[in-house]
Amino acid sequence: MPARAGKPDAREKLLDAALVLLREKGYGATTVDDLCAAAGVTKGAFFHHFRSKEELGVAAVRHWSEVTGALFAQADYHRHEDPLDRVLAYLELRRTLVRGSAGAYSCVAGTTVQEIHATSPAIRAAADESILGGAAHIEADLAAALARHPVPGVDAHGLALYVQAAIQGAFVVGKARDDPSVVVASIEHVERYVRLLFGRSA
């Protein structure tokens, strides 16, 4: 993909490679050499763009936020007029995205934060931002839905975070079971929960 000749693309190639490798092997097991080989770049290029492996970790998680943010921003589930319909369409989209191996469908932020939450504050903070950003995709819609149909003890922020948590957990169990169908089934449970909360029948 030689978009523009002369433009720096080693950095982009490294970040894209990181998205795959981090999800497949985790942060610790992914070596700098692995990343360079996958990106078709040498170590010199790596440390030209990133001062350390940790700095790449932060950049990769932020890159992940951007990639997924763009994906959901341009998705057409926003077209629904009813905010609850938008939330349900979002969940349906997330469900249909689950295909193939865990390295293809799981989440960079969730995978990475499990390993480094106690050892790398910078990556942990980036992962936190990424997950909050993911929750933000539905938080406003949930707030609007709750305004129309209040549920005692439930607030939009907490519910949005729970949806993210349930999906993250589905990835974990999907990896353990080595079977994406349990991820799909779990997301269906999340959809059922949202419908039950708002008294919407299937």
Binding site for DNA (CB under 7 A): 6, 8-11, 30-33, 41-45, 47-49, 51-54
Written as one string, the DSSP assignment of 183-196 is HHHHHHHHHHHHHH
DSSP 79: G
Select the residue interacting with a second copy from 15, 89, 127, 146 (CB under 8 A).
127
Select the residue interacting with a second copy from 8, 28, 44, 150 (CB under 8 A).
28
- In single-letter form, the type of residue at position 63 comes to H
| 8 touches, from DNA, a second copy, none (C-beta below 5 to 8 Å by class) | DNA
Which residues, other chains included, contact 185 with Cβ-Cβ below 8 Å and sequence gap of 6+? none
Select the residue interacting with a second copy from 17, 87, 116, 146 (CB under 8 A).
116
Residues 159-178, interacting with a second copy (CB under 8 A)? 159, 161-162, 164-173, 175-178
Nearest to 183 by CA among 106, 131, 111: 106
Q: Is 145 in the site for a second copy (CB under 8 A)?
A: no
| 49 touches, from a second copy, DNA, none (C-beta below 5 to 8 Å by class) | DNA
Spatial contact of 149 and 198, defined as CB atoms under 8 Å apart: yes
Q: Where are the alpha helices (DSSP H) in the chain?
A: 10-29, 32-39, 43-49, 53-73, 83-96, 102-105, 108-116, 121-148, 156-177, 180-197
Nearest to 21 by CA among 133, 121, 106, 129: 106
| 128 touches, from a second copy, DNA, none (C-beta below 5 to 8 Å by class) | a second copy
Can you say how many angstroms the Cα of residue 1 is from the centroid of all Cα atoms in its chain?
25
Q: Is 111 in the site for a second copy (CB under 8 A)?
A: yes
Shortest distance, position 121 Cβ to a second copy, whole Å: 9
What are the residues binding a second copy (CB under 8 A)? 24-29, 101-103, 109-111, 113-119, 124, 127-128, 131, 153-154, 158-159, 161-162, 164-173, 175-178, 182, 185-186, 188-189, 192-193, 196-197, 202
